[in-house]
């Protein structure tokens, strides 16, 4: 599945066509996702204790993954998902604008295409004994 939890998706078919929402849960085995505010159903909940009351609860039910498309944060369009390798890891990429759909690699994909970042020189390591000795000499 190319859809992950917390992705913003657009429903492309069915009763809720055109509605956007956040993915709350995925089920790769059954190839379904639960999207916030989409495919709402009423469930009757019976009182289990004497001090509770029975009620009707509205909740989201699963829809097929094939009925949703991931919305790119950068361009704001629903897009198919492509893959690329960044730092040896497979990353999901927007086919329309080339931006990363994975939050952790959002800056690295664009930064890699433009120009590489300059690395800072590592700090010189000193021993604690030598630091204490220098501090005592400076006090005197």
Per the CB < 8 A criterion, the answer to whether 77 and 96 are in contact is yes
Question: Which sequence spans correspond to the domains of the chain?
Answer: 1-71, 80-107
pLDDT, position 136 = 74
DSSP state of 103: G
pLDDT, position 110 = 54
Give the mean pLDDT per block of 10 residues along the chain (140 residues): 91 94 95 95 93 94 95 90 87 88 69 51 67 72
pLDDT, position 107 = 64
pTM, 2 dp: 0.67
pLDDT, position 114 = 43
Pairing mode of beta strands 63-64, 32-35: antiparallel
Of 85, 113, 32, give the one whose Cα is nearest residue 93.
Answer: 85
CATH class given for the domain over 1-71:
mainly beta
- Residue 18's φ and ψ, nearest 5 degrees, are 90, -5
DSSP state of 116: P
pLDDT, position 103 = 76
Residue 130: C-alpha distances to residues 123, 127, 136 (Å): 16, 5, 10
pLDDT, position 64 = 95
pLDDT, position 109 = 58
């Amino acid at each position: 599945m190319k859809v992950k939890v917390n992705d913003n998706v657009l429903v492309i078919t069915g009763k809720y066509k055109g509605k956007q929402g956040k993915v709350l849960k995925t089920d790769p085995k059954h190839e379904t996702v639960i999207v916030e505010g989409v495919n709402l159903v009423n469930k009757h909940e019976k009182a289990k204790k004497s001090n509770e009351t029975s009620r009707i609860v509205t909740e989201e039910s699963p829809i097929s993954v094939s009925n949703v498309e991931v919305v790119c944060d950068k361009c704001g369009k629903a897009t198919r998902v492509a893959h690329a390798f960044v730092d040896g890891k497979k990353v999901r990429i927007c086919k329309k604008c080339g931006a990363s759909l994975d939050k952790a690699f959002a800056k690295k994909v664009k930064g890699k295409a433009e120009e590489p970042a300059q690395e800072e020189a590592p700090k010189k390591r000193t021993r604690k004994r030598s630091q204490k000795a220098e501090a005592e000499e400076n006090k005197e």
